Structure 1
């Protein structure tokens, strides 16, 4: 599915195309986002990229019609991409010619790497160790003379990866620190092409409310021990 610029086709057809494109993005595991090098980064590109990120889709960016551009035009496009696509700097960018097939073959490696990053699962001890190292290197800020405490982390989901962090005063974690944690996990886990989500939960004991229920055998053993203890106490008193 694809979206064309306003004014090039009938409005009703364009609306249908947009709906189909949005649905295709939601259904995809990895989105290959194709942009026209000669038109640069336009608003509808940014809107669609934002939708892909909100949908949690892994992403590979392809800049098409690259072969027909001069060196100076290519340099200008690269500067614009770096300036306007800073929020998806984790996505691989390929410069291709769909007409001649130039650079298209390299897309598949990026698609595979992006999908792998999106669905890989890590154990709790691994994610918690990364959290502890991140906090040790750059601690959360103080709030009302109290330090925000982040205790442990575990995986809350995949495609996209969701990392759940437990701690205290988590509602006061600033956005800048959330981005720091996102970048840390992305760097250490070597994630490419996929958004990553950080969720916080309060520091309550995850085992709170679970009663320590004894088996019948344990109950009988406990009764025998208590009976033996009472008899021993009685003998000591009788000797006195």
Structure 2
């Protein structure tokens, strides 16, 4: 199912960023700024129960300069175009301002469901805080506090309840698409379409295009070396001779949803331009999606020896956080290196779904702890007792122990490296979750040395009284 898209609009400093972080549960790894292309637009994902959604933060809009400032004409228009619903934030403490009315009039032009949220209403009478915002003519406002969470859950539930289901969402199931599902993502003009055509073969006709569950994405089944694949293309499959526009339409929403539908993600990078901020943002999204990852550095044949060395050094320096991802130096135009991509895709796919027995996991965990002990916390050693597999794609390892919540990120990275090497989990992220063993003495108040002595004295006195009582009973019997 395609995720509903909710856009946040409003003046600066009305609390949009705070609400964005609350709706996405502060998943900073998926929050991204796109310099140049999308300017201040930010994307994040959230979930209410089993319902996922995408939130788009449009940044602050002044509403000045004849009513529509450049930001409104640019990033806000793009966000409102792709949104299914709009959350319009206003400041309950400042009251309604002319800029709010200008923004409201502009939002109306897009004919999207709009919910007015009167923010910063904590400590105020909610009916009073929202009363003057009725004049915006957008239905009954809802008083919230994005900082404290007041009414935020109600707001998102109200929005999701009004968003209609996608017309195409029941046309097929993902299981209908055989083999490894591969999403090819990348910035505009990095050679993504050329690579896609090279992967499926130029002789393939566009008759294989099918409507997908993602917005404007296309699912393309094909075979290579007897292995079935399904390519998820967010730009549309086209013959090279039919590609007239050099700059492809770019949508981060389509990229995010394509990654959700895939098993393996191929991120295409333009070697002639080096690693850009947009490349790093897409890479962060791919890692956050939990899918297997392959990096394809394209246009390698156009680089000089000096340029190639520079690019290699830059990749090594800036991609340390994604060092598990396999890198391929390719030329999509001439086909060099493309065949090796398929071998890596198969290897990454198998690694992401590789099952490991509990006994093997514990053997590796025991060896890892023996070679590198967990740190001391308040004089006590963190103990890792046992582990088991909690899920696949990506592999998820559940580790049980004592004081595991005190473990540092560096030790977790150490364990990830050990597991990756032992079980050949290549090209896929690995998640480690810790669970603390229940402490039977938890909740009991620890006693001081003085208190322990007093208890011992009380026990001794009780024993003495018991003995005296016993002697009195014996004397009575004798008499």
Q: TM-score, normalised by structure 2?
A: 0.40
Q: Would the aligned equivalents of 1:149 and 1:168 in 2 still touch at CA under 8 Å?
A: yes
1-structure distance, mates of 2:250, 2:419: 38
1:72 matched to 2:306: yes
> Residue 287 of structure 2 aligns with which residue?
53
Superposed CA RMSD in Å reads 2.1
1:138 matched to 2:169: no
TM-superposition CA deviations, 1:176-199 (whole Å, max 9, x none): 100100011011112210000000
The structure 2 residue matched to 1:198, chosen from 418, 432, 456, is: 432
> Residue 403 of structure 2 aligns with which residue?
169
Q: Give the SS at the match of 2:266.
A: strand
1:100 matched to 2:131: no
Relative distance call for 1:147 and 1:120 in structure 2 (3 A) is: same
2-structure distance, mates of 1:84, 1:108: 25
1-structure distance, mates of 2:330, 2:434: 40
Task: Give unpaired runs (5+ residues) of structure 1.
Answer: 206-240
1-structure distance, mates of 2:340, 2:377: 48
Q: Give the SS at the match of 2:399.
A: strand
Please state how far the C-alpha of 1:39 moved relative to its aligned partner.
Answer: 1.1
Q: Give the SS at the match of 1:153.
A: strand
> Residue 160 of structure 1 aligns with which residue?
394
Please state how far the C-alpha of 1:15 moved relative to its aligned partner.
Answer: 8.7
> Residue 109 of structure 1 aligns with which residue?
343
Structure 1 segments of 4 or more deviating over 3 A?
10-16
1:63 matched to 2:94: no
Q: Give the SS at the match of 1:134.
A: helix
> Residue 95 of structure 2 aligns with which residue?
none
Where does 1:217-236 land on structure 2 (aligned, <5 Å)?
A: none
> Residue 258 of structure 2 aligns with which residue?
24
1-structure distance, mates of 2:375, 2:385: 15
Please state how far the C-alpha of 1:41 moved relative to its aligned partner.
Answer: 0.7
Which has the greater radius of gyration? 2
2-structure distance, mates of 1:75, 1:195: 27
1-structure distance, mates of 2:437, 2:363: 17
Q: Give the SS at the match of 1:41.
A: coil
Q: Would the aligned equivalents of 1:26 and 1:52 in 2 still touch at CA under 8 Å?
A: no
1:6 matched to 2:37: yes
Please state how far the C-alpha of 1:204 moved relative to its aligned partner.
Answer: 3.3
The structure 2 residue matched to 1:179, chosen from 399, 407, 413, is: 413
Say which structure is richer in helix: 1
2-structure distance, mates of 1:202, 1:29: 31
1-structure distance, mates of 2:322, 2:370: 27
Please state how far the C-alpha of 1:6 moved relative to its aligned partner.
Answer: 2.1
Relative distance call for 1:16 and 1:101 in structure 2 (3 A) is: closer
TM-superposition CA deviations, 1:53-76 (whole Å, max 9, x none): 111010010000000111111000
Q: Give the SS at the match of 1:6.
A: coil
1-structure distance, mates of 2:286, 2:390: 20
Q: Give the SS at the match of 1:24.
A: helix
2-structure distance, mates of 1:59, 1:171: 29
